[in-house]
Structure 1
Amino acid sequence: MDRALTREGLPGGPDTEGTGPAAAPRPSGTPKLVGVVWGLLILNTLGSAGAKTIVPLPRSLIQMITMGALVAAFALALALNLRLRVRPSAFLFLLTLLLVPSVLSSADLDSGFGALFRCARLALFVGTLWLLSHWWDGSATLVRHHIRLYFAVLASVAAGLLISPGAAMPELYGGRLVGALWPLTPPQIGQYAAVITGLTVLLVLGRRTDRVSAAVVVVPALVLLALTHTRTATLGLLIGLMLAIGSLVLTSAAARRFFAWAVLCVTVAAVAFNSALQAWFLRGQSQENFSNLTGRAKVWDALLAAPRTASEQLLGAGLGDKSFGGLPIDNSWLAVYHEQGLTGAVIVAAMVAVLGGVALLRPPSLPRACAIFLISYCAIASYTEAGLGDASPYLLHLTVAASLLTARTSEVP
């Protein structure tokens, strides 16, 4: 499997180095360590809260590993880019601007020293992204790193499932798949599986990888996605792919064929397996529980009804753990409003709008399609998942989209 991935698979198929006649120019001397930095950023955003693992891992140890990964990522990125050459980026500028309400709302220490610690983490995270922007060239290089590294995360989930099925699918989570080696929740696993599946399908359509190598990633990823019973990730994958492939149908015969077959298969499956799909989608929940989004709506109503000072409305209550009243907020917009106020919400909305607007203005291409998929997925997931206002996998997805929308150059000095 590893051989297929590294030699002829997702890194770009047989034309791994981008030397074929139809290949896009590749930056000269792009360090392979950029992929290491990206892997460290992914490790930092895996989180420390989740199901019980086979070998108990103290939360303090996990936090030490994840924070150490971020510090190492920044140090390595700085070593690779000592001249501090960066690419102008409206996305990164807005992300940097988000630090202002974060720091101002956290400075009064009402949220504790943890808020300032999270601000420092976000600043280090954003600084690392700025350093890496030097190698953004509009190619699929970062996409390949993204797929490889999240595939490795999913491989650890699959290993945990094989070693201890009971620990990987505990009753506490309703029999849904969790991380048994590293504490990952079902929504996290579903997110990673959906994102790499969508990106891999687009690489196949763009002839950047072969079907066999793609199947090595897509098939197990879809199996893990199904075992998580994650509705948000499933809808994000389907809608994101529909929009991304739709952006290619006018210029790609392969995209048109895939789109037609996908519509046919979905229609047949919806008719033939309607009962099974409905049962999977409901996850054994009552209609009332499903209608209030598994209790999320109650938390949202309480958050919006809570009294706030003018300062809290404008700047928020400071960076926290994305919870309210001890319960997860599970909505990016409300989480940002709660922690970074209306100012933060406007900045995050501008980030997404800028990326979406640039993607719509670009001519049809594979990088544009991948960016549309990532932006669409994050926008859909933001309704039931938090993360757009702090260091998270969602910001990494949007960063990949921003790198894909960067104007190409033949050489990065």
Structure 2
Amino acid sequence: MRKDHTSKLVGTVWGLLILNTLGSAGAKTIIPLPRSLIQMVTMGALVAAFALALAVNLRLRVRASTYVFLLTLLLVPSVISSANLESGFGALFRCARLALFVGTLWLLSRWWDGGLTFVRHHIRMYFAVLGSVAAGMIISPGAAMPELYGGRLVGALWPLTPPQIGQYAAVIIGLTVLLVLGRRTDRGSAAAVIVPALVLLALTHTRTATLGLLVGLALAIGSLILTSAAARRFFVRAVLCATVAAVAFGSALQAWFLRGQSQENFSSLTGRAKVWHALLAAPRTTSEHLFGAGLGDKSFGGLPIDNSWLAVYHEQGMTGVTLVAAIIIVLGGVALLRPPSLSRACAIFLISYCAIASYTEAGLGDASPYLLHLAVAASLLAAPAAATPLSTPEAPRRGIPQGARRSEVT
């Protein structure tokens, strides 16, 4: 019972971390929510997550984790660049938020044992978020699919953008598919998650999430093909279905993918390339090149950067880029060295999804859902914790055989 209670508390901490990373900027909601109120809720969730994690792990037992260690090192260029106040006092506030976020991950690392516990927490929490999106769409379809976003699905109850919703949907779809293939959940329960998530993903028209889902699943299932007959069958069926869909619905799929954009707009990645070129062409001091300009809102010249690598370069410099690259390389390398297993497949899916999304989405250098995805991957790649003896065996007493002594552990 105590173990179940602890597991629920850990799941609550994870849910609070997810709430903290939902953000405060997005579409207009049915009931207008002041941004200050949303920020108070999200930051309060992070403080509550840290306090609860500390309460559950009072002895401060943590597991060695290269992933969290590299995140801790990422705080160094963040603080150095933010201390100049070039980005204002908000940069120091974001540093404090990142420190609290990383500290909570350290406290949770005690329960990283290579199992699927955090995968299930991840699916449940993001499915609840998607439930709020679906509820908003039912209550007010006009607010959920406004013309401002080209009719794409947004959060009408909580301000979520189409890329956010697409990301959450794609991640839980991929993880749930892998759980089915590993026979860790039944098909009925999986369908209850996958089908509505697919509908929401389609309504967001999010190309990055769709591509990340397809490529991530292909790599993850590919890692299971040699050891899982279910994975082989699913792969063959998926290829056949994709071929039929491409032939029968090719024009519709192309229209969905282009979203009514011109060839020029599509080739410039919806204007992202112009911001990227301007950011790279901007003059920088040696300090800014090495440590960045300080943690900000992931924008340049008032426009979103929408690229994790350039956002990290702008805010944390080449030092931050090196550390983030080390995170992806280390997690990917460890995943490749692990023997085939469901945990390894889930980790490969999450790592590859984050790597693909990093090209058109920011978030790898600050507290974000992408760092939570990678944290789940790190928990899946952790070696199972060794059993710790409750007491140290004593030397046999003289004249009394060791096997005849009463056991101290009942």
What TM-score range do you get, normalising by the shorter chain?
over 0.9
Q: Which residue of 1 aligns with 2:112?
A: 136
Structure 1 position 235 matched with structure 2 position 207: no
What CA deviation, in whole Å up to 9, does each residue of 1:340-393 have, x standing for no partner? 000000000000100000000000000000000000000000000000000000
Structure 1 position 284 matched with structure 2 position 260: yes
Q: Which residue of 2 aligns with 1:376?
A: 352
> Of residues 58, 64, 67 in structure 2, which corresponds to 1:91?
67
Q: Distance in 2 between matches of 1:79 and 1:104?
A: 31
TM-score by length of 1: 0.93
Q: Distance in 2 between matches of 1:29 and 1:167?
A: 39
Shift of 1:30: 4.6
Please list, as runs of the form range in 1=range in 2, the aligned pairs for 1:322-401 lying within 5 A after superposition: 322-401=298-377
What CA deviation, in whole Å up to 9, does each residue of 1:183-231 have, x standing for no partner? 0000000000000000000000000000010000000000000000000
Q: Which residue of 1 aligns with 2:37?
A: 61
CA contact (8 A) 1:316 1:337 kept: yes
Q: What amino acid is the match of 1:73? A: A
Q: What amino acid is the match of 2:85? A: L
CA contact (8 A) 1:28 1:411 kept: no
Structure 1: gaps (5+ residues): 1-16, 18-26
Q: What amino acid is the match of 1:399? A: A
Structure 1 position 102 matched with structure 2 position 90: no
Q: Which residue of 1 aligns with 2:173?
A: 197
Q: Distance in 2 between matches of 1:85 and 1:28?
A: 19
Structure 2: gaps (5+ residues): 391-410
Q: Distance in 2 between matches of 1:34 and 1:129?
A: 11
Shift of 1:32: 1.6
Residues 304 and 30 of structure 1: is their aligned pair in 2 closer, same or farther, counting only changes over 3 Å?
same
Q: Distance in 2 between matches of 1:279 and 1:47?
A: 30
What CA deviation, in whole Å up to 9, does each residue of 1:302-331 have, x standing for no partner? 000000001000000000000000000000
What CA deviation, in whole Å up to 9, does each residue of 1:49-92 have, x standing for no partner? 00000000000000000000000000000000011000001111
Q: Distance in 1 between matches of 2:61 and 2:26?
A: 38
Shift of 1:28: 8.8
> Of residues 204, 211, 219 in structure 1, which corresponds to 2:195?
219
Q: Distance in 2 between matches of 1:396 and 1:299?
A: 27
Q: Which residue of 2 aligns with 1:125?
A: 101
Shift of 1:29: 7.6
Q: Distance in 1 between matches of 2:224 and 2:271?
A: 39
Q: Distance in 1 between matches of 2:86 and 2:379?
A: 37
SS of equivalent residue, structure 2 residue 7? coil
CA contact (8 A) 1:359 1:368 kept: yes
CA contact (8 A) 2:363 2:370 kept: yes
TM-score by length of 2: 0.93
Q: Which residue of 2 aligns with 1:265?
A: 241
Structure 1 position 313 matched with structure 2 position 289: yes
CA contact (8 A) 2:6 2:56 kept: no
Provide the aligned C-alpha RMSD in A. Answer: 1.2
CA contact (8 A) 2:50 2:101 kept: yes
SS of equivalent residue, structure 2 residue 23? coil
SS of equivalent residue, structure 2 residue 340? coil
Q: Distance in 2 between matches of 1:149 and 1:279?
A: 32
* Structure number, greater radius of gyration: 2
Q: Which residue of 1 aligns with 2:23?
A: 47
- Work out the number of aligned pairs and report it: 388
Q: Distance in 2 between matches of 1:212 and 1:51?
A: 33
Shift of 1:409: 3.0
Q: Which residue of 1 aligns with 2:400?
A: none
CA contact (8 A) 2:169 2:198 kept: yes
Q: Which residue of 2 aligns with 1:24?
A: none
Q: Percent identity?
A: 86
CA contact (8 A) 1:70 1:124 kept: yes
Residues 38 and 354 of structure 1: is their aligned pair in 2 closer, same or farther, counting only changes over 3 Å?
same
Q: What amino acid is the match of 2:127? A: F
Please list, as runs of the form range in 1=range in 2, the aligned pairs for 1:1-20 lying within 5 A after superposition: none
Q: Which residue of 2 aligns with 1:70?
A: 46
Please list, as runs of the form range in 1=range in 2, the aligned pairs for 1:155-174 lying within 5 A after superposition: 155-174=131-150
